[in-house]
Amino acid sequence: MSLTAKDRDVVKSFWGKISSKADAIGQEALGRMLAVYPQTKIYFPQWSDYSLGSAKVKKHGKNVMAAITDAVGKMDDLIGGLSSLSNLHAKVHLDPVNFKILTHNILVTLAVNFPADFTAEVHVAVDKFLAALSAALADKYRLTHHSGASRASANRGTSNDKAKVSDAINKISNNRKGFFFMFFSRSI
Amino acid sequence: MVEWTEFERTTIQDIFSKMNYDVVGQQSLARCLIVYPWTQRYFGNFGNLYNAAAIMGNPMVAAHGRVVLHGLDKAVKNMDNIKAAYAELSVLHSEKLHVDPDNFRLLGDCLTVVVAAQLGAAFTPEVQAAFQKFLAVVISSLQRQYH
C-alpha cells in the first residue's frame, strides 16, 4: 500500500505538531507494548524494570521515536534510508510481527495524548506510514538462505557487486590490450 | 475458562458503565471503515462511504456502530462464560454475514484507539492490557463457530 502525496503531507504536518513530545511518546508507546504484550520483553532480557517510568524504557523509547521521526524525512525512500537499521534488526533476530505490535501501541499513545489532532484521516495516514516503515525495516531479512551465515556472505549479487567486478575487469583489459580480456569485460 | 483478576473485572465494568455507546460505537466503526477500507465490503447498502467525511457523517454507520457496541454488553455481563454467550453471534458472523475473522481484530484495534482518546491519561498501560484481554476473549469467542 504505497504512500500518496496526501499521506506524506498529513504525516509531516501531524509530526510537526507532536515532535516536541517525541521522547515521551516513544517512552509511553514502548511501556504500553511491554505491559500489554508481555512476550515482547524477550528482546530485552537484561532489563530488570519494564515499567513505563523506568530509565531503560525511557532511553530506548526515545531512540526508537527518534529513528521514526528521522524516517518521516525519508518517506521518498524508506527502504534505502532504513537499510542499516534493517540489517541491525535482522541481526538481532527481531520477529517482524512485533513491528505491527509496536505500531498499534504508538497509535494508542497518539490517541491518548492528541485526541483532537489524531483524527481518522491522520490515523490512516500514520498507520500507512508505519506499515511502510515496518516493511522497510524487514527488507534486509532473509538475504541468506542458510542459518549462521554472516551478513557479508549474502549470496545475492547487488548492483554494487556487479559494478566492482566490471571495474576490475576493465582495469585488466586496459593494462593488457589483448583481445581475450576485452571480449570478457563486454560480457558483464 | 478465562481467569479474570479483580482489577480486570472492575476495569471492564467501569469502562463500559461510563461509555457513551452512541459516540464510541459510531467513532469506532467509522474509523475501521476509514483506516481499513476493505472492511467496507460488508456494508454495500450503506450508501455514501466514498471518503472519510462521508463515512463520519453516515447515519447508517452511526446506527450500526451502536448495535455492535451493545453486542459487547453481552460479554461485559457474562465475563465468566463469554464463549457460551457468543455462540449464536459466532454462527451469525460465520454462516450468514461471512465476515473475515481478521476484521474482528481490526475493529477491536479501532475501538481501543477511540476508548484511549476518550479516557486520555486514565487509559494507563494496565487498563489497556485489561481492555485488550477482554477484546481478545470476545474475538476468540466470535471465531469459535467458524468451520
pLDDT bracket for residue B130 (50, 70, 90)? very high
Contact A107 B113 (CB under 8 A): yes
pLDDT of residue A144: 74
Establish how many alpha carbons lie within 13 A of residue B137's alpha carbon, considering only the half-sphere containing its beta carbon: 23
* SS3 at position A140: coil
pLDDT of residue A143: 86
Whether residue A35 has pLDDT greater than 60: yes
3-state secondary structure of B26: helix
Residue B57 has pLDDT above 80, yes or no: yes
Question: Does B95 score more than 70 pLDDT?
Answer: yes
Mean pLDDT (chain A, rounded): 86
How many Å from the N-terminal Cα to the C-terminal Cα in chain A? 35
Between chains, do A124 and B52 touch, taking CB under 8 Å as contact? yes
Which residue from B minimizes the CA distance to A107? B113
In the numeric block, the cell 487498563 is attached to: B127
Please give the C-alpha separations between residue A29 and each of A131, A177, B121, in angstroms, as whole numbers: 16, 63, 13
The whole-number pLDDT of residue A168 equals 62
Residue A35 contacts residue A49 (beta carbons within 8 Å): no
Neighbouring C-alpha atoms within 13 Å toward the C-beta of B87: 3
Helix H or strand E segment including B111: helix B102-119
- Helix, strand and coil in chain B, % to nearest 5: 80, 0, 20
The three grid cell numbers given for residue B88, joined into one nine-digit string: 449464536
**pLDDT at A185 (0 to 100):** 43
Pairwise CA distance, residues A95 & A138, whole Å: 9
Please report the number of interchain residue pairs, chain A to chain B, with beta-carbon separation below 8 angstroms.
Answer: 55
Query: Does the pLDDT of residue B132 top 50, yes or no?
Result: yes
Instruction: Tell me what ipTM this predicted complex has.
Output: 0.91
Cell of A116: 483532537
**CA B133/CA B111 separation, integer angstroms:** 13
* Cβ within 8 Å of B, A 86-145: 104, 107-108, 111-113, 115, 118, 120-121, 123-124, 127
- Residue whose grid cell is 496526501: A6
Are the C-beta atoms of A23 and A62 separated by less than 8 Å?
yes
Residues of B in contact with A120 (CB under 8 A): 30-31, 34-35, 52, 55-56
The tens digit of pLDDT for each residue in A134-184 reads 999 999 999 876 555 444 444 444 555 556 666 666 665 555 554 444 444
Once rounded to an integer, what is the mean pLDDT over residues A104-123? 98
Chain B residue with Cα closest to A29: B125
Flag whether residue A24 sits within 8 Å of chain B, measured between CB atoms: no
**CA B127 to centroid of chain Cα atoms:** 16
Rounded to an integer, the average pLDDT of B14-31 is 97
Q: How many helices (H) and strands (E) does chain B have?
A: 8, 0
Please report, as a single letter, which amino acid is at residue B147: H
Inter-chain residue contact B118 with A52, CB threshold 8 Å = no
Residue that the C-alpha cell 569485460 belongs to? A185
Q: Give the predicted TM-score (pTM) of the model.
A: 0.84
d(CA A116, CA A14): 11
Q: How far apart are CA A85 and CA A91, in angstroms?
A: 10
